[in-house]
Amino acid sequence: MRNLLIPDAASKRLNAELSPLLDSINLYKMHEGGKITFKGQRIDPEDADIHYGWFSRDVMFGGYGREYAVQLLKSPNLKWVQSATAGLDNSFFAKLASKGIRMTNSDAQAPAIAEYVIASVLERYQGFVDRRQYQASHNWQDNDFRELYNSNWLVIGYGNIGRRVGIIANAFEANVTGVKRSSVDSPGANKVITYADIQNVLPEQDVVVLACALTDDTKEMVNEAFLTAMKKDAVLVNIGRGDLIDEAALLKTLDSDQIDYAILDVFHTEPLPADSQFWDHPRVLLTPHSSNQGSGTNDRGDRLFMRNLTALVKGDALINEVDTKELL
Amino acid sequence: MRNLLIPDAASKRLNAELSPLLDSINLYKMHEGGKITFKGQRIDPEDADIHYGWFSRDVMFGGYGREYAVQLLKSPNLKWVQSATAGLDNSFFAKLASKGIRMTNSDAQAPAIAEYVIASVLERYQGFVDRRQYQASHNWQDNDFRELYNSNWLVIGYGNIGRRVGIIANAFEANVTGVKRSSVDSPGANKVITYADIQNVLPEQDVVVLACALTDDTKEMVNEAFLTAMKKDAVLVNIGRGDLIDEAALLKTLDSDQIDYAILDVFHTEPLPADSQFWDHPRVLLTPHSSNQGSGTNDRGDRLFMRNLTALVKGDALINEVDTKELL
């Protein structure tokens, strides 16, 4: 028998699907506030010898992330953790990696984030702000709009999220360049380049999407030199991590009209401080790290977790297993 | 030699491309106001024996549509007219059809209109109105959003425009049902049905797009019975013709919250009267018959015209030739 620490909310949603596994898996449930129960009885966290963990969205948004993380970190027999996030740059995951724990990340949010990216660029290109003003004033006034058709997209980080952005942009007949560490052909991308070649192609890009992991190599990759190389009518989209961008350099670029627009879902400091200049900037559309919050994200996360838990019980390969050496 | 009546603005844009054809084609240029010149000299319209016409966007938006149409209709040797529109339901085209004139319609606006459709549905699904309010008030407030992923789309009229909508929606992993007069498989559509089957599938559709021609059969097809069969959270998009919808029935449906939203680019009366209830309706996003006004539409129209003019000179088949019997 293996012990799974499952968020109580998730155990309720997945009750029927978990039941066939209960001859191999004990369910230790963590509730809001961090209390743990086993077979309906509250137990001392010291008595919960956890093998499997699921750092789900229930945990992330339920206010007991710290308690959940602490419980996993102090479980000496921990074998596997499923994350609800794509990026594992949080120090919690580095600690797990240092212990040799197997980890799988999530692509459940990828469709949601890809929709956010496409929708936000279209929001700018189509001029909905003007349209709504015309409508409000009963003004039969048209607005020409920029098309994605034939536009050039640079998608930096062509993993689960970037690839979906590329596939959709491609369906609009945009020209998609994906950026990966090795330039292997990939669906949706007209071509794939490596990070070393970004600077060469930047001057032609209409839309630049940051969808890569935050590492020592990518930290503040969008700096003054990067921004200066961009087209004056380019749109920058960040759904990766705030620290991919030198925010002071970006503000300077936006202030001097050197690029058209920035769509920002992530920031150096989150929540974004109330006095940040990004809030009121006419060239910024911002959201609170919520590009993942599509209506299907939770369900896709549940499906992924169940597939991996079942694979683990059967001894099959896991989906989205991460090379933990890269997290050290 | 054949005589082409070309909008002056178009002749300027296409000067270089037209020049190889000038041993077969005379250029009669119509200017704003309707005056005609030949080799730089103003001529009497009675002396312009026109063989080929191009009812381009220059004509439509230049204020001399009537003069251009009259000139073509009174030209006894007229052979071919290229339209800038997809729909040829204007009585001008029926008159040409009755004379046996060859006609080609346009798909140049299809990418623009498809982008408008996807963008407008995303605008609703993503909740940009709320997002912009949160941003304006420096409020780090998220909003869950509906996804196109796994949503059901009914695209009524699966021609050049509908097919593009389908292909893009499909890239979002929406389930696309196309409606055609004959149910032949078509790109982007998970299945294709005929008009007779619409009522059967309506109750499952999240998004219903009207992209069909206006005919006696399709006039006011969106009536009370149609609207009553729709899901309560469905979005209706009309980029076809205003008369596809019974507008009184639609207003009643929207007033009673029986569907979620209507995205309307076309209306029974255009411009939409200032006292129309659509303007201020909280469940309506409207635009002034401008979904075609993408940044690439003019250039694609020029390319299509040049291909067809060249094909005509060479005796090759025309692209987008219309069965003129259907216009009678």
| Model confidence pLDDT, tens digit, residues B155-168 | 999 999 999 999 99
The average confidence (pLDDT) of chain B is 96
pLDDT at B184: 82
- Nearest residue to B250 via CA among B227, B229, B268, B271: B227
Residues shown for chain B: 328
- List all residues 6 or more positions away from A307 whose beta carbon is below 8 Å from its beta carbon: A319
Of B61, B123, B102, nearest in space to B293 by CA: B61
Can you state the angle between helices A91-98 and A65-73, rounded to 10 degrees?
A: 10
- Contact flag A132-B135 (C-beta cutoff 8 Å): no
- Contact (CB<8Å) B149/A123: no
CA-nearest residue of chain A to B280? Answer: A136
The per-residue pLDDT of chain A, averaged, comes to 96
Report how far residue A190's alpha carbon sits from residue A166's, in angstroms, rounded to the nearest whole number: 9
Closest CA to A18 of A27, A29, A5: A27
Q: Cα-flanking dihedrals φ and ψ of residue B86, to 5°? A: -85, -45
CB B117 within 8 A of CB A266: no
Could you tell me the pLDDT band of residue B84, with boundaries at 50, 70 and 90? very high
Indicate whether A183 pLDDT > 80.
no
Pick from B169, B155, B152, B179: nearest CA to B118: B169
Amino acid residing at B295 = S
Digit-coded pLDDT (tens) for A274-309: 999 999 999 999 999 999 999 999 999 999 999 999
How far apart are the C-alpha atoms of B168 and B154, rounded to whole Å? 13
Task: Mark yes or no for CB contact A129/B132 under 8 Å.
Answer: yes
Give me the mean pLDDT over the B237-243 stretch: 98
Alpha-carbon gap: B196 to the closest alpha carbon of chain A (Å): 30
Using the 8-state DSSP alphabet, how is residue B222 labeled? B
To which H or E segment does residue B230 belong? none
Which chain B residues have a beta carbon less than 8 Å from that of A125? 115, 119
Whether residue A53 contacts residue A77, with contact meaning beta carbons closer than 8 Å, is answered with no
The complex scores an ipTM of: 0.94
**Minimal Cα–Cα distance from B218 to chain A, Å?**
26
pLDDT band for A327, please (50, 70, 90 cuts). confident
The predicted pLDDT at position B182 comes to: 86
Q: Which of B109, B142, B286 is most worth mutating to test chain A (most A CB atoms within 10 A of its CB)?
A: B142
Which pLDDT score is estimated for A185? 82
Helix (H) / strand (E) element for A263: namely strand A261-264
Q: Which of B144, B280, B296 sits opposite A147 (nearest CB)?
A: B296
In sequence order, the β-bridge partners of residue B38 are: B28, B41
Dump pLDDT digits (tens) for A29-58: 999 999 999 999 999 999 999 999 999 999
**Residue labelled with tokens 């060859």:** B102
Q: How far does the CA of residue A282 sit from the closest CA of chain B (Å)?
A: 10
Report the predicted TM-score, pTM, of the whole model to 2 decimal places. 0.94
Q: Between the CA of residue B206 and those of B43, B147, B186, B262, what are the distances in Å?
A: 56, 11, 20, 12
Quick one: pLDDT band at residue B52, thresholds 50, 70, 90?
very high
Cα gap A4→A301, rounded to integer Å = 16
CA A69 – CA B76 distance, rounded (Å): 84
Q: Could you tell me whether strands B207-210 and B25-30 are parallel, antiparallel, or unpaired per DSSP bridges?
A: unpaired
- Strand (E) or helix (H) holding B23: none
Q: Which of B264, B290, B297 to mutate to test the interface with A (most CBs of A within 10 A)?
A: B290
